[in-house]
Every structure is written in structure tokens, then in C-alpha cells.
């Protein structure tokens, strides 16, 4: 990317970031409170989406050298839509533009850190990570549970873990006692702790259970449980957050844990949530609608 093009993109990024921050501050002043991450993200999405449409309409993409030509505004809405849709697609697929235009991700990452910095008690941290699980659970299952419906646990005990094969030939993880493992002739896996979540809805209680092994969080099955293939549970998606969150929550009330170690636990939680949100944003395809503004 030549220097002039880089300067123009950097200017565009700064202006877009400033507009998003200004709108967030204005909304907070009107409401008399801080916005939560979802409210801030909605504003950021709107600002970034409108900015990109303005780029397409006024032909800035051509000035940046993206799209290979000058955009001509057509007289019909359909022609304008087709032209700007093409430009928007080219903007999205441009490596240089993606690398420079990180407005949404940067602001959201900063807010995650601010949110976690404000969690000063064990209960606040646990409620924070519960709500992340709840949001993912409701999205995946089309339900409306709340943090009050779930209980989180991390435990180490005499339960051991071992490798096994599912009915379709996939590697899975099972749990049993040490004596059972010896009887089965199974090699015991390192047990760094099992994370469980219990979900209670009405008279029904169900649960999920994972353990970290071989570089990832694995669903843990009972010794005699029939398994066709490993289930990708909600807990497996957010287990890194739950693990870091429990460590951070427990450390707050531990007098023998140093301040530096407590800060390290907090950093791990920030990193886990940031990674989760960024991965989620990458996997989602943004569909922009509404009128285009000059």
C-alpha cells in the first residue's frame, strides 16, 4: 500500500472511530448511565456500516485504489444498490482495508477490559461469566433462561479421565474411577479439572461437562454412555471463559494470593472474552440494510 493511500485510510479510520465514541458518550449522557457492551456495539455497528456505505457512494473506494474504477451514481435505486453492493464486497475482501479498518474490534476490546476491571467481587465475576454462557445457550437453543437458572462448578477429585472412541470412530473423553480405569486397561489422562454447568428449567435439570485435554476443551462422557459422536456443547464454546472466570472469582477472596497473581487471573479472563468475541465477529457475516446516506 502506498503512503498516500495509507494516510487516507488512516484518516477514515480515525474519523469513524471518533464518530462512534461521540455517539456513545452522547447516549450515555442522555441516559445518565454507562452503556453496556451490547448497546455500545449496536452504535459501533451502525456507524461503521453507514461509513462504509458512504465510502461506496462517494467513490472513495476508487480513490483508495479498491474496485478499479470510478463509481458513477446511477439514476435508479436498483443501479445504485448494485454498484454500492459490489464496492462494499470489494472493501470487505480487501486485505489492506481489513487490516486498517479495525474500528469495531478495537473499541469492543477496550470495552471488555473496562467491564472486567469494574468487577470487584466474586459474585460479580461469576454473574458476568454466567451471562456469557446464558447468551450463547439461548442463541443456540432458542430459549430464554437467565443466570439464575444455571450453576457453575470446577472440581478436581478421584475421578479420572481416559481416551475412548465414539460409535463413528471419533476420539472422545470419558470419566470413571481409578479402579475402573485399571480394570478397563485404560491410560489415565491428566486431569486439570472438570468444568460443569447445571441448567434448571421448571422441573427439569440438565448439565454439560468438559475437561481440557490435547489442546482443547472436550465434552466428558460417563463410562457406559453411548456416544455416536462428540457433541459440541455450549459449554465447550465458552469453557475458556468459564475457567478463567472461576479462577479470577476465587482469587478475589483469597488472602494468600498475591496482587500480581490476581491481576494475571484478571488478564486471562479479559483475553478469553476478547478471543471469544473476536472469533464470533469473524464467523458472523454482516448484512447491512437500510437507506444509504450521502
Confidence band, pLDDT 50/70/90 cuts, at residue 250: very high
**Nearest residue to 112 via CA among 42, 36, 49, 44:** 36
**Burial category of 155 from C-beta neighbours within 10 Å (exposed 0-12, middle 13-18, buried 19 and up):** exposed
Average pLDDT, the chain: 77
> What pLDDT, in 10s, does the model give residues 93-151?
555 445 544 555 666 677 888 889 999 999 999 999 999 999 999 999 999 999 999 99
Residue 49 C-alpha cell reads as 456500516
Strand 194-201 and strand 188-189: the pairing is unpaired
- The pLDDT of residue 8 is 56
Half-sphere exposure of 54 (CA within 13 A, CB side): 11
pLDDT at 50 over 80: no
For the chain, the domains span 3-118, 122-253
Supply the Cα-derived Rg of the chain in whole angstroms. 24
**Residue 278 or 269, more confident:** 269
DSSP for 234-254, please give it.
Answer: HHHHHHHHHHHHHHHHHHHT-
Residue with cell 469494574: 118
The answer on pLDDT for 70 being more than 60 is no
SS3 32: coil
State mean pLDDT over 47-75. Answer: 53
pTM of the model: 0.66
Sheet containing 194-201: give its strands across: 150-155, 194-201, 204-213, 216-222, 171-176, 160-165, 188-189
Q: Which three cell numbers stand for residue 173?
A: 473423553
Q: Is 165 exposed, middle or buried (0-12, 13-18, 19+ CB in 10 A)?
A: exposed
The string of pLDDT tens digits covering residues 148-162 is 999 999 887 667 888
Amino acid at each position: 500500500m502506498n503512503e498516500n493511500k495509507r494516510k487516507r485510510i488512516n484518516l477514515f479510520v480515525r474519523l469513524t472511530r471518533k464518530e462512534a465514541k461521540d455517539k456513545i458518550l452522547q447516549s450515555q449522557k442522555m441516559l445518565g448511565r454507562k452503556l453496556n457492551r451490547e448497546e455500545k456495539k449496536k452504535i459501533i455497528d451502525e456507524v461503521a456500516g453507514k461509513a462504509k456505505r458512504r465510502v461506496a457512494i462517494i467513490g472513495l473506494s476508487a480513490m483508495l485504489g479498491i474496485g478499479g474504477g470510478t463509481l458513477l451514481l446511477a439514476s435508479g435505486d436498483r443501479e445504485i444498490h448494485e454498484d454500492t453492493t459490489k464496492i462494499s464486497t470489494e472493501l470487505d475482501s480487501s486485505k489492506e482495508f481489513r487490516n486498517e479498518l479495525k474500528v469495531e474490534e478495537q473499541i469492543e476490546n477496550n470495552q471488555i477490559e473496562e467491564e472486567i476491571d469494574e468487577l470487584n467481587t466474586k459474585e460479580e465475576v461469576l454473574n458476568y461469566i454466567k451471562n456469557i454462557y446464558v447468551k450463547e445457550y439461548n442463541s443456540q437453543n432458542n430459549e430464554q433462561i437467565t443466570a439464575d437458572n444455571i450453576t457453575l462448578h470446577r472440581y478436581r477429585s478421584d475421578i479420572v479421565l481416559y481416551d475412548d472412541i465414539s460409535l463413528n470412530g471419533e476420539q472422545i473423553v470419558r470419566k470413571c474411577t481409578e479402579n475402573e480405569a485399571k480394570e478397563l486397561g485404560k491410560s489415565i489422562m491428566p486431569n486439570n479439572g472438570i468444568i460443569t454447568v447445571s441448567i434448571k428449567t421448571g422441573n427439569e435439570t440438565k448439565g454439560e461437562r468438559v475437561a481440557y485435554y490435547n489442546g482443547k476443551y472436550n465434552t466428558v462422557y460417563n463410562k457406559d454412555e453411548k456416544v455416536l459422536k462428540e457433541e459440541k456443547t455450549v459449554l465447550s464454546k465458552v469453557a475458556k471463559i468459564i475457567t478463567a472466570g472461576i479462577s479470577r472469582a476465587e482469587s478475589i477472596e483469597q488472602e494468600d494470593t498475591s496482587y500480581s497473581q490476581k491481576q494475571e487471573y484478571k488478564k486471562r479472563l479479559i483475553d478469553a472474552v476478547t478471543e471469544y468475541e473476536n472469533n464470533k465477529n469473524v464467523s458472523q457475516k454482516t448484512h447491512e440494510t437500510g437507506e444509504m446516506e450521502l
